[in-house]
Structure 1
Amino acid sequence: MPRGSSPKRERQYEHIKESELDTGKSTKRAEEIAARTVNKEPARHGESRTASRSSTHDMSSSRRGGQHSHSGSTGPTYDQLYNEAKHRNIEGRSKMNKKQLSSALGH
């Protein structure tokens, strides 16, 4: 955290860093994610002189909620298809891609 940051931002940084470490991220990566997240908030509120356009005009994480960058991928994953093919003893499954597995299983 930069010098002179508020106690609130310090707490946010530590909380985010700990959360990222709990998910298995390295210390360096957890610190980077925490710093970027905490430093983005002042930009959104007009407190930063050098904020990028994406920092000031994007949708806030709290408003975004459960939205993801991808959409429409509602089918089973490759691993799920492969495990089903294995359970059904489908020949050649190890050389198949997701589309081929789906076709072989009749999905």
Structure 2
Amino acid sequence: MTRGSKDKYTLKQKRQAEHIEASYEEKGLSPEEAEARAWATVNKQSGGGERAGGSGQDKSPADKASSRRSSARRAVASKHGLARSSRESLATETKAELMKMARANNIPGRSTMHKHELVEALSSVS
């Protein structure tokens, strides 16, 4: 099957894509852009064509819905230029960097703290 072929999609997915494409064209998008966005939307909602095997087959519908919601929240936050929570951003730092920040904030007991404790202490200060 060639790249871009829609043979593996269900009739329902094809109807959804047509409906979404028509909606985009009504909004003034070019037919090519409308088609691309329509299929991207169908892929995001359903995980792509109904392929045997493929990724995501082990997830329950509830897990897929949860993943979509969290992904959508992160996308909106990044679109509006909002950083992740301080705890999430601190968790990506090394322990040495966290120790420097703790020292700068005069956090007591920092020398005996584990990384997750430093993250908690620094997130409560920020």
TM-score normalised over the length of structure 1 = 0.44
Q: Which has the higher helix share?
A: 2
Could you say which structure has the larger radius of gyration?
A: 2
Bigger relative contact order (CA 8 A; separation at least 6): 2
